[in-house]
Each structure stands twice: as C-alpha cells, then as structure tokens.
Amino acid sequence: AQEKGTACVVGRAQFAEVARGHIAASPSGFLKLVVGYDGRVLGVQIAGEGAAELLSVGQLAVRYGAQACDLVDSVFNFPTLAEAYRIAGLSAVAALESARETVDAPASERHAPPHAAV
C-alpha cells in the first residue's frame, strides 16, 4: 500500500496471543492487517497453520470496505484462530490513534508517522 502512495498502518497479532494457538500447539503463526489512515482494511497477511481458513474473513473485510474497528467490534468464536482479527484490529486502531496524534501535534512535536512493513 505504501509503495502505491497510500498512507497506512499495520495491526499485528501473533497466534500465541489466542487460546487456539496454544491448544493446537502451533502458536508460531501471525496475522497482519494493513489499514489506511481512514481506518479501512486494505489488505491482510497471514502465515501459519490454518492461514487458508482464516483468509476469507480478510477477503470480505477488504472487499466490502470494513474498518479496523469493525473487526474489533466483531464476535469471533472461542477458541479459534479467528480471534487474531480482533487483536490485529486493536493493534491497528492503536497505531491509527498514534498516527493521528502525530499529525495533530504542533510541527515542533511531530514524530515520523508509523511505517508499515509488509
């Protein structure tokens, strides 16, 4: 997204942060949400066991212009790896708030905006 000139942040969740990652004894995966400064989900990257099953939620989020806060407010079954969407959504919302504080700060107090490493 940044290569195309779109300002964005990344929300991250490790499978180790959700109960299912521990139950399945495969907590080494992750889920990343690429979110535009307007809050819209622009992309998803998932790696680890079960990634193929998780991708459809991300595809729907991108296709229908979901906001990161939509994923935070969604209910995901417990215990499933899909809970990682909520955690990544929370991470993205926090990154957006930080980016907005940077933009709203006086020029003398501004920090570089967060960079999305995808």
Nearest to 48 by CA among 24, 70, 66, 67: 24
DSSP structural state of residue 107:
G
Q: What are the structure tokens assigned to 70, written together?
A: 């939509």
Residues in the chain: 118
Query: What's the pTM?
Result: 0.80
CB 10 within 8 A of CB 95: yes
Domains of the chain in start order, with CATH, are 2-109 (3.30.390.30)
User: Per residue of the chain (118 residues), what is the pLDDT tens digit?
Assistant: 666 667 899 999 999 999 888 787 777 899 999 999 999 999 999 999 889 999 999 999 999 999 999 999 999 989 989 999 999 999 999 999 998 887 665 544 444 444 434 3
DSSP structural state of residue 109:
G
β-strand pairing of 30-36 with 41-47: antiparallel
